[in-house]
Structure 1
């Protein structure tokens, strides 16, 4: 159960990171600082999202 909760938290953090990358992409200029920020948020968001989804998928429920 704890792994599923951690997976949900990681997935939510990943979604937030991907949303921030999208917002910076839409609102940002062409400066190198903005491009680095978009890449950083996008990559970290994807890592957290897929790690969270993997934890949720691979954790089995046990009857208590």
Structure 2
């Protein structure tokens, strides 16, 4: 397991946490900008991590 795989896993986990937190905040009725920021950044981190993991596996 090299550094790229570990970084991809970390990015995926951070993105997943951001998506869950943003989804919970949005489901509570919070229509603030913070909900959308968490959802957008979580999605970016999640898909970047998935892409990095896919590109490092042989």
What TM-score do the two structures reach when normalised by structure 2?
A: 0.88
Which sections of structure 1, spanning at least 5 residues, go unmatched?
A: none
Q: Counterpart in 2 of 1:28?
A: 29
Matched positions, count: 57
Provide runs of 4+ in structure 1 moved above 6 Å: none
Counterparts of 1:1-64 in structure 2, within 5 Å, are 1-29=2-30, 34-61=31-58
User: Residues 5-64 of structure 1: CA distance to partner in whole angstroms, max 9, x if unpaired?
Assistant: 0000000000000001111011134xxxx4201110000000100110011000145xxx
Q: Distance in 1 between matches of 2:38 and 2:50?
A: 18
Measured on the aligned residues, the alpha-carbon RMSD in Å equals: 1.3
* Rg larger for: 1
What TM-score do the two structures reach when normalised by structure 1?
A: 0.80
Which sections of structure 2, spanning at least 5 residues, go unmatched?
A: none
Q: Distance in 1 between matches of 2:44 and 2:6?
A: 17
